[in-house]
Amino acid sequence: MNDDMLDRLRAQTGGVRDGALLRFSIANTLLGLSRYAEAADEFREALRFDPTYSAAWKLLGKALLAANDEPGAAAAWTSGIEAAVRRGDKQAEKEMTVFLRRLPGQ
């Protein structure tokens, strides 16, 4: 079922509906399929459309961590915290701060 959803979402890329939300949806579906590197690429695309999309930063960090890229996850969450502060998204700021603190060596 998720592969069908992924195909339907990807069919909309490059068109008038392409944007941060569509790319976030694609990335989140890929994350659910444990396709972490592809998910990270799509979260980055979402952030290209909207660099203040704190949920995309949060899940980009999770995808990178799942792909064993701790420095990348730390960088994503650090940028995500900055974006959340700019946007006034206190909950995302708190969550990413916790995720960052839980990383080894932080």
| pLDDT tens, the chain, 106 aa long | 578 889 899 999 998 889 999 999 999 999 999 999 999 999 999 999 999 999 999 999 999 999 999 999 999 999 999 999 999 999 999 999 999 999 986 6
pLDDT (0 to 100) of residue 42 = 97
At 31, list the tokens.
């994350």
Concatenating the DSSP letter of every residue in the chain gives -HHHHHHHHHTTTTSTT-SHHHHHHHHHHHHHTT-HHHHHHHHHHHHHH-TT-HHHHHHHHHHHHHTT-HHHHHHHHHHHHHHHHHHT-HHHHHHHHHHHHHSTT-
C-alpha neighbours within 13 Å on the C-beta side of residue 83: 20
**Distance between CA atoms of residues 49 and 7, nearest Å:** 21
- Global pTM exceeds 0.95: no
Domain spanning 2-102: which superfamily?
Answer: Tetratricopeptide repeat domain (1.25.40.10)
Quick count: other Cβ atoms within 10 Å of Cβ 101?
Answer: 9
pLDDT (0 to 100) of residue 72 = 97
pLDDT (0 to 100) of residue 2 = 77
